[in-house]
């Protein structure tokens, strides 16, 4: 009975806390002023008693971590592993309304920092926690950690800033752009959702990819761009290990999604549901049919879409490659264009990378650039752990190729993967399997309006 009473007391306390949290939610300024007051009291106490510096340091590290989460969008623009974005439905035919969604919402950020300030203040009244330390060392260490954490270095941006230029989509009027179709479809399946789930028609068929492909392609055409979509073919054998890792991650995410559903945790369910996304042959076939009706050409690559896109650039058939995958540069595309298929409301500038200028800024040639990319990690082989961006570039400049690097690095410090397939990866980048120039006849035609209505409305259930 006593245990039941205790449980009941805790339940009532939780309800009471939640009640007051709900009451203060609308008062944003007042809430943060409260936190500011707590912070001032904490700082004054630390200064007045000349102690508990370790508590202040831990609080600072914790707040830095939470601040970064607050600044981070739920869906990273580069579409890395964690695509946790849940946009609303379109409000206009050429736009998808997507409010900026933070990984750590404002109220949660406030509540976490409120508790952190309060707990830290309480801890300063426990003498055993007043551990003697040299506070100037902690301050210097925190400043260094803050700078390194916020900087998020990017090799080309740091070493070859002239290789990058930003602008608007309208700047590409009249340009032909080869779009990585699989990357785009993956983005649409991740982003175009309602209540955490892909859009579906009355028959239960997924339609998120069609909605994304339709509206984003129209946006490009309205801005004078001539897109050609390139679809992946059979992946090279060298990519099998990477595909196995992706399958393992999706399997783990599927299990976590089931747990979240059983627990009624909608946010976790949404997060893991996005990690289970995979572009299927049916998705590709749907988009190919849609593109045909829209009068937009597409190409079926023998293997990697990025390699075929790069080949179209080198053959002079298109201006550049539209993808978020930087491997297009490693395959030899002189121009890479990012953010082309992003939603207009995200206000992300179009970012163009020039391979020629990147090589000039980095001070290396294309063969050395290929080895640099392999060192930093690619889909075809593992990387050497412990070698980051700056270290990799320094090694390439000093030794000019991976073979010489392997002869000179400390193998105890930098563990080289067993049976490292860097030579095969290099060859795949150098001589990928692509269609010859005369096999790709790119023609843009007038859209079949009746066919589009029949396919999208009657067959796929769009209204």
| pLDDT at residue 158 in the model | 81
Cα(95)–Cα(344) distance, integer angstroms: 6
120, 118, 126: which is closest to 17 by C-alpha?
118
| DSSP bridge partners of 381 | 378
Q: Which of 91-100, 315-324, 379-388 has the lowest mean pLDDT?
A: 91-100
Residue 53 has pLDDT above 70, yes or no: yes
Number of other CB atoms surrounding residue 207 within 10 Å: 20
Overall average pLDDT of the 292-310 stretch? 97
Domain architecture of the chain: domains with CATH: 12-84+98-152 (no CATH), 159-360+433-460 (3.40.50.1010), 363-430 (1.10.150.20)
Query: Which has more pLDDT, 295 or 64?
Result: 295
Number of other CB atoms surrounding residue 203 within 10 Å: 9
| pLDDT at residue 80 in the model | 39
Mean pLDDT of the chain: 85
Query: Which has more pLDDT, 408 or 51?
Result: 408
pLDDT 10s digits, 214-273 = 999 999 999 999 999 999 999 999 998 888 888 898 899 888 888 888 888 777 787 788
Number of other CB atoms surrounding residue 321 within 10 Å: 31
Rounded to a whole number of angstroms, the CA Rg of the chain reads 26
For 192-210, give the DSSP string: SEETTEE-B-TT--B-HHH
For 73, the 3-state DSSP assignment is strand
Cα(101)–Cα(69) distance, integer angstroms: 11
Overall average pLDDT of the 37-58 stretch? 90
Overall average pLDDT of the 183-206 stretch? 84
Query: Which has more pLDDT, 83 or 49?
Result: 49
pLDDT 10s digits, 338-383 = 988 876 766 678 999 999 999 999 999 999 999 999 998 888 998 8
* Rounded percentage of the chain residues whose pLDDT exceeds 70: 85
Cα(363)–Cα(158) distance, integer angstroms: 13
110, 109, 135: which is closest to 56 by C-alpha?
135
384-to-4, 166, 381 alpha-carbon distances in Å: 56, 33, 10
Res. 43 pLDDT band, cuts 50 70 90: very high
């Amino acid at each position: 009975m006593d245990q039941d009473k205790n449980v009941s007391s805790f339940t009532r306390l939780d309800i009471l806390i939640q009640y007051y949290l709900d009451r203060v939610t609308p008062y944003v300024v007042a809430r943060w002023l409260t936190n500011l007051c707590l912070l001032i009291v904490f700082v004054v106490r630390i200064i007045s008693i000349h102690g508990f510096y370790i508590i202040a340091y831990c609080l600072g590290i914790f707040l830095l971590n939470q601040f970064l989460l607050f600044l981070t969008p739920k869906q990273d623009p580069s579409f890395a592993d964690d695509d946790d974005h849940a946009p609303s439905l379109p409000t206009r035919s050429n736009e998808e309304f997507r409010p900026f969604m933070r990984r750590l919402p404002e109220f949660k950020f406030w509540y976490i920092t409120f508790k952190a300030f309060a707990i830290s203040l309480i801890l300063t009244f426990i003498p055993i926690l007043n551990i003697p330390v040299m506070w100037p060392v902690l301050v210097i260490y925190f400043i260094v950690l803050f700078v390194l954490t916020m900087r998020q270095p990017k090799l080309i941006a740091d070493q070859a800033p002239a290789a990058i230029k930003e602008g608007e989509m309208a700047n590409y009027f009249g340009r032909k752009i080869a779009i990585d179709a699989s990357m785009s479809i993956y983005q649409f399946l991740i982003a175009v959702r309602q209540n955490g789930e892909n859009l579906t028609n009355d028959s239960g068929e997924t339609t998120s990819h069609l909605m994304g492909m339709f509206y984003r392609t129209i946006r490009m055409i309205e801005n004078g761009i001539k897109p050609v979509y390139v679809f992946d073919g059979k992946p090279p054998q060298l990519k099998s290990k990477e595909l196995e890792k992706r399958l393992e991650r999706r399997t783990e995410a599927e299990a976590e999604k089931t747990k979240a559903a059983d627990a009624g945790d909608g946010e976790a369910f949404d997060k893991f549901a996005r990690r289970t996304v995979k572009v299927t042959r049916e998705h590709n076939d749907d988009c190919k049919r849609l593109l045909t009706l829209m009068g937009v050409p597409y190409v079926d690559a023998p293997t990697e879409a990025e390699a075929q896109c790069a080949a179209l650039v080198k053959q002079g058939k298109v201006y550049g490659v539209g993808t978020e995958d930087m491997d297009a540069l490693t395959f030899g595309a002189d121009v890479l264009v990012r953010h082309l298929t992003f939603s207009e409301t995200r206000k992300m500038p179009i970012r163009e990378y020039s391979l020629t200028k990147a090589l000039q800024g980095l001070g290396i040639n294309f063969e050395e650039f290929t080895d640099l990319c392999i060192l930093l990690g690619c889909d075809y082989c593992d990387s050497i752990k412990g070698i980051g961006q700056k270290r990799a570039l320094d090694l390439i400049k000093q030794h000019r190729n991976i073979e010489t690097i392997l002869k000179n690095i400390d193998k105890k410090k930098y563990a080289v993967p067993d049976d490292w397939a860097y030579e095969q990866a290099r060859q795949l980048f150098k001589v990928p399997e692509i269609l010859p120039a005369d096999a790709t006849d790119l023609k843009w035609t007038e859209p079949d309006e009746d066919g589009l209505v029949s396919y999208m409305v009657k067959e796929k259930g769009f209204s």
